[in-house]
Structure 1
């Protein structure tokens, strides 16, 4: 009865004035004044009770009836609709005035505070059903209507590294449906530009400095990866923007342009791995592990993963053969990470290399046991020469035997007897016979260019031990028989090709172990030029490593490697085309291109002109034909 009296005598004639008074109180509170919020909550509860009264009278329900529902029509019509309109008016005016007098960064703080205030308002005295509508209204007025200003400010904040303000903008704009799209576009462009600029600044040096190149990339990635995590809450769209930007500037930048090769990035990354994993550069285990993780971060963005694979394979092979790896654990860990990223096939040859090294260790032990149980001459061979071998499966290792060569002959004198012994030749023959007996039908091809040894000098003031390549040993050991040789004589004695002999001689002359008797141009030897030992040789170290690659050799090797990569790619493209056409039988040109690109993109990004050439090659080989009457359709020929 009391509610009926309240409705008829007070609410109906006075509700507009009461609602207006409530809205005035709310505006005062928004302006910073202290108000009695219990007055507001009391009025709004009475609106709620009137809703109950209307409901009970209409249906005759008990207040505790389970079927009771509320439409809140009284609350919504008498208060909520007016409140939302008032809110829009108030914040539209305030936001325009505040932005006109203050920077966007201060406005964002203001907007953030206002949203929090309205959230608390619902909790204090508004009905919970108002929450979503109020939030949407405030977000529209405070944020959505000012998105253009936010976007304009976003670039400035990125330039000035204002990460806290960037985070605040992200939280605000993320409340708007599809509001983050422009920010993602802007940050992708910004990261790409920053990466491009960073590499351009060091391009001249980085072209031949893998560490500088990779560290420059990592510095950019670390900076913006941290930004995405902290300021943008690792949002998937911003992570994707970071990935796209890094992929763009890593695969095409000032270094790749200077090198005139998009494959320069994977090559430099592989070379950086080589420096990390060499024993000469050994680091703490934890530090090395962290650095290898960073390498894999850059590797993920590399498009031409086949180039990385080729160079990494060559360098791993050298580390294993020359025993320069930091540790087997570090090598295995790197291969495991590559396998996780690219699959088993990508690392299968690398893993087989390790297996060959383990098998070779066991094989060496068996060979030494075999020699020890042989003739006295062979037993003495063990004492005179520290000889060890590695047997490598030809399909897994990136080495080729392409050098003719004659092993050097040494004359040895012992206390027991005087005898002439082809010492290296005899070791070579004894192992060849041993291996042939153990593995009937297998053929050994000796990789002299990868072999090395140590020789001790007795002709200089100090006694030195030279760590030398087999070719260097072959030349230096000639001087046990004579003090001087012509270039032609050295070529005949060693059976080395003149171009290889000259490269080795140039290096020995630069080391000042040998000298040219007739002062010829060391870069332009003639067959008659005489080469002799330089008896004045001196070094601060008693163990001297003279087995270092010549720059011209490295450059030639790079060119050959890239040539092989291009040939391998053509074969992979042709294989992919045949697989697709065998399955499809008929395929349009554009669809075939798309499928080839999709299949090979995990290894490298094939260029469309190369794919077209491969299609033409397969047509010539009669794997495919163009469908008669339709030039852009191919048909598979079984």
Structure 2
């Protein structure tokens, strides 16, 4: 019981602790401290074994107590007891009475040792002995020094200062620069093993290697920038070769792996090609295009490729890409194009690379890719069901066709304005729409004509030719079943194809000699075609091939796809940033403006590096939408609005 009316009266537990400290703990401290330091000296000087666990326990005992050894100790204890207060801060006993003397003993000992200088012996011999001293002292210190204190780090700095003065350090680094610049991996391994215990040298060597790899990578990319900006194979395989080269040369340890990673990350995301393209997104685009070349059907003359090995190499480069969302956009667009045009080498290969990306970035990153593959599989079943339906209904005016139905949230295509389908095609499309709507009520089908293609035959010539055409080319050619000549203006009115696109379609048909115009010269351009020009069907068309491929990519379609892709990247990033802001603020409720921006950057850095200006816009937008509000008294603090 505590007597509230009298000072100096304590509960028995507190009183016992106080008596223990005053009568036992403090009087023995000086003797115990000296004994510990003497034992440590004996071990260092004579290599005598000592009980380091005992020393560790004693140090921890004293370092965790608040008492102070000096002339005023008894008076301070009495004053504390009288005042009934134990919360006053008292100087650090461990640091004042153990650490300082311990470090001074070490310095005195090694200053007296005959440590060979770099000038008197070979660098390897000298560093070997220095390294042994260093390892012995550090390992010995680790066995008893408290982890809660900074003594070990002070010890490391002290030993660096003793063993490696500035002129030693400069000599070692000069030798390291020669070894790194000549890429002498054997000497590097030997020398690095000796200097690696010293943080100062280790950090400088790692920085030296990082700079060397970066400089080589940046210069190599600059040399090929003239051609590789449009050659994804050359660009990506050059990066892979650089990575492989330095993975072998500097395969010394994890710190060198970190140096390699930093260097590769820098020259892959910022190099002569990204500067020439005036965008940091060029690297993810070229990597996606490289994947596309591997996954598309190849010529029979092309050599066989070990795709699993190639995919692993792609992932090495992918891991260094900062804007992984840009890669996903380009990859998704090209995947859809391969699937729609039936150009994939195999679905198994498509699934393999997607599974590897999934392991790296998670399910959310690859969910749209997986949806596309699923859509193709479902479409195959769907078209079989449709054909069976047509057979059961005895529909005769339906052309032979196949269809792919892709979910709108997984596609990377930009829709173009509608056109007027000829009667030969309209009945088929209307029939399929009715069939689909009966099975999927509430869904809307959007026809992407720019990605459709087909075959038509010429029956009026002696030789029957099969023409492989785009849907736009087919629509224009089918007009000639009605009339043998049309003006450009009439074709536009009949089909509703936009002028720019129609000119490209006519150019392809005129240059292939399927159509002709007496008013257009041989070396004409798109701009030479006028609305009043008369276009006629070539009745005496001749070709060496019975199957003539006229289907070429349209510039306007490609440009619109690229614009749509870039716009969707920006829009997606806004939604991702807003979602991250809401998620963080919902958890924190209140947060400083600057800290919120910092957390957003940290959370999204694995996907892309958000610009601070864009984050600020998203914060302002969420304030307008009343998801967030500023503090009335401090505008730098944001509150989540529930």
Preserved contact between residue 266 and residue 307 of structure 1 (Cα < 8 Å): yes
Q: Distance in 2 between matches of 1:504 and 1:74?
A: 92
1:454–1:466 CA contact under 8 A, matched in 2: yes
| Offset, 1:269 | 1.0
Q: Normalising by the residue count of structure 2, what TM-score does the alignment of the two structures yield?
A: 0.73
The equivalent of 1:391 in structure 2 is 405
Is the CA contact (8 Å cut-off) linking 1:278 and 1:326 kept in structure 2?
yes
Residue equivalent to 2:488: 487
Give, in angstroms, the shift of residue 220 of structure 1: 1.4
In the TM superposition, what is the alpha-carbon distance from 1:262 to its structure 2 partner?
Answer: 1.2
Between stretches 627-636 and 597-606, larger displacement belongs to: 627-636
- 1:167-566, aligned counterparts within 5 Å? 167-176=189-198, 179-229=201-251, 232=252, 235-280=253-298, 287-375=306-394, 377=396, 381=398, 385-409=399-423, 422=424, 424-458=425-459, 463-519=464-520, 521-524=524-527, 525-534=529-538, 541-566=545-570
Whole-Å separation in 1 of the counterparts to 2:401 and 2:255: 59
8 Å contact 2:629–2:638 — kept in the other structure? yes
The reply to whether residue 96 of structure 1 matches residue 148 of structure 2 is no
Q: Distance in 2 between matches of 1:390 and 1:455?
A: 20
Measure, in 2, the Cα distance between the counterparts of 1:263 and 1:240. 24
Deviation, 1:405, is 1.4
Whether the 8 Å CA contact 2:485–2:535 is kept in 1: the answer is: yes
Report the more deviating stretch, 331-340 or 451-460.
451-460
SS of corresponding position for 1:377 = coil
| CA–CA distance in structure 2, aligned partners of residues 459 and 293 of structure 1 | 54
CA RMSD of aligned residues (A): 3.4
Find out whether 1:571 has 2:590 as its counterpart: no
Q: Distance in 2 between matches of 1:628 and 1:142?
A: 57
Is the partner of 1:96 in helix, strand or coil? coil
Match of 1:609, SS state, is helix
Deviation (angstroms), 1:476:
2.1
Answer with 236-245 or 336-345: which moved more: 236-245
SS in 1 for 2:519: coil
1-structure distance, mates of 2:463, 2:230: 36
Partners of 1:169 and 1:362 in 2: CA distance: 65
Alpha-carbon distance between aligned partners in 1 of 2:45 and 2:401, rounded to the nearest angstrom: 100
Deviation for aligned residue 1:449 = 1.7
CA contact (8 A) 2:412 2:565 kept: no
2:168 & 2:356 partners in 1: Cα distance?
A: 46
In structure 2, the partner of 1:67 is none
Distance 1:74 1:150 in 2: 29
Q: 1:627 aligns with which of 623, 626, 631?
A: 631
State the alpha-carbon separation in 1 of the partners of residues 175 and 246 from structure 2. Answer: 18
Deviation at 1:289, TM superposition (A): 1.4
Give the aligned partner of residue 589 of structure 1.
593
CA distance in 2, matches of 1:371, 1:74: 99
The 3-state SS of whatever aligns with 2:201 is coil
**Partner Cα distance (1:603, 1:615) in 2:** 19
The CA deviation string for residues 401-438 of structure 1, in whole angstroms up to 9 with x for no partner, is: 432112234xxxxxxxxxxxx3x222222222222233
Q: CA deviation at 1:331?
A: 0.3
| Offset at residue 153 of structure 1 (A) | 2.7
Distance in 2 between residues matched to 1:261 and 1:466, nearest whole Å: 40
Out of 600, 603, 610, the residue aligned to residue 604 of structure 2 is: 600
Quote how far apart the aligned CAs of 1:507 are: 3.0
Deviation at 1:142, TM superposition (A): 10
**1:163/1:438 Cα in 2 relative to 1: closer, same or farther (>3 Å)?**
same
CA distance, structure 1, for counterparts of residue 579 and residue 248 of structure 2? 42
Q: What's the offset of the Cα at 1:177? A: 5.2
What residue is the counterpart of 1:154 in the other structure? 176
In the alignment, is the contact (CA less than 8 A) between 2:486 and 2:535 conserved in 1? yes
Checking the alignment, whether the CA contact within 8 Å between 1:275 and 1:281 is kept in structure 2 is no
Whole-Å separation in 2 of the counterparts to 1:518 and 1:300: 56
Contact 2:577 2:618 in 1 (8 A): yes
Measured after TM superposition, the shift of residue 88 of structure 1 is 6.0
- 3-state SS in 1 of match to 2:404: coil
Distance 2:203 2:43 in 1: 38
2:322/2:607 contact within 8 Å kept: yes
**Unpaired runs of at least 5, structure 2:** 1-41, 49-108, 134-158
Do the aligned residues in 2 keep the contact of 1:455 with 1:473 (CA within 8 Å)?
yes
For 1:299 and 1:637, locate their aligned partners in 2 and report how far apart those are by CA, in whole Å.
39
User: Which residue in the other structure is 2:641 paired with?
Assistant: 637
Q: Greater CA deviation, 526-535 or 289-298?
A: 526-535
For structure 1, the residue ranges without an aligned partner over 5 or more in a row are 1-70, 78-83, 100-106, 120-136, 410-421
Structure 1 residues 318 and 180: alpha-carbon distance in aligned structure 2, compared to 1, 3 A threshold: same
Cα distance in 2, alignment partners of residues 179 and 276 from structure 1: 44
Alpha-carbon offset, residue 586 of structure 1: 2.0
The Cα shift of 1:111 comes to 6.1
SS in 1 for 2:290: helix
How far the C-alpha of 1:366 sits from its partner, in A, is 1.6
Distance 1:359 1:296, change over 3 A: same
Residues 427-482 of structure 1 show CA distances to partners (whole Å, capped at 9, x for unaligned) of: 22222222223333333222222211122335678644332211111112223333
After TM superposition, give the deviation of residue 85 of structure 1 in Å.
Answer: 9.2
**Is 2:163 the counterpart of 1:163?**
no
Residue pair 1:270, 1:311 contacting (<8 A) in 2 also? yes
Aligned residues: 515
